[in-house]
Structure 1
Amino acid sequence: MNALTTASMPITMSSREIAELTGKRHADVMRDIRIMMDALMQNADLRSVCISSTYVGENEQRYPQYELDKDTSLTLLLGYDAVARMKVVKRWQELEAQQTPRLPQTMAQALRLAAEQAEQLEAQAEQLALAAPKVEYVDRYVAANGAMGFRQVAKLLDANEHEFRAWLQDQKIMYRLNGEWTAYQNHIDAGRFIVRAGVARANEHAFSATKFTPKGVQWIAGLWGQHKARLAQEGGAST
């Protein structure tokens, strides 16, 4: 099961599990999700949930997948056949039933539940304390600098460039256009990126460079931090 059960995050179903339930190739399901998200991103009020993550294959290598909340996954299924839709609906019922809180029946159970909740709160407080210096550093850096390129932002976030670029592409934040990485128009309109165009003096070749604005750096730092925290939680849960 690939559902996330932490209180701060919605229950999700992975694209891999959807592929298994519907009998479709995982690559095809991921393609369908990307097409659907392109359409849904035109209306931010819909608040669809599509999280990019990874899973470990049989060869111990990590591969990308998506995690969808209930509404988003059921929207995806509108294009699938009735049998596939019913299988996923039944699976959602199982996931939601597992989330139903069970009241403690004895004093010992109540004490264990209270202890577990206290441990979770302590762990969350530790994570926030560790993240605070990094957030403060990003804020100070952005305040002292203007627009930043991809490599500058990756270095600022201490992110692997290949992983960071793949994540930006999966999240529909940036894409390759004519050999250059650029941002989706909705993010440019939101003031997270600026596009600087010009002509090279040496060969008169026209070029354009997409850079993160200070607002964009702070925004992407928050999203990237959430992404890394999810990966850490998944890694801890699997050990």
Structure 2
Amino acid sequence: MKDLSVIKETMSSIEIAELTGKMHKHVLEAIRVMEPSWEKVAGTKFRLGTYKDANQQDRPCYELTKTECLYVATKFNDEARAKLILRWEQLEKEKRNGNFQVPGSFKEALLLAAHQQEEIENQQKQIEANKPKVLFAEAVSTSQRSCLISELAKIISQNGVTIGQNRLFEWMRKNGFLCNKGASYNQPTQKAMELGLFEIKKTTITKSTGDIIVTTTSKVTGKGQIYFVNKFIGKESCHG
């Protein structure tokens, strides 16, 4: 049983991208290219709004009616267009058959309440599942604390991509963030330092013989932690 009030009259460009298997930026591009012709004939612009990404940054998205969706879909291939048409047909069927039904008995009332509670719990679980990445970015952005690469590996794993210290070192060397040979082995490259991803900590140790040893430790800055976590959870292109 569905309440008519929850059946939407529009579809967002994000939903269109997920439904058709396209990247959201490509859907946005198609909409923007086709909007002038639509405005000329229909006399209205497409409804432009925003949504929050994982880092709580505002990003653009559109809300389109069925007619607007099918107009934009003429830019898509046959398969994507078919998926969009079938989805709208499904939504309209739900709307036709989705009138809220008043429970006819105490048993039906209990079943309806249980179903609604399950939907609420599922929504809450999804919200909780999305929290770690957002909280991580907020916490690090307000902190100046740097961490060791071994700690970064644990942070990345906590955000959904399992990786150990050795594999992370190897990935960083392969992708040009750490030097891969010579006296500077496993130290940040010039590129990584210029991006502000690392800082170098030098420690002086005086041995019993009087000899002085200087050790160098590479630490990942707060900015670097956000950068690498975003790399591994797919918010930026992650090579290697």
TM above 0.5, yes or no, is no
Greater C-alpha Rg: 2
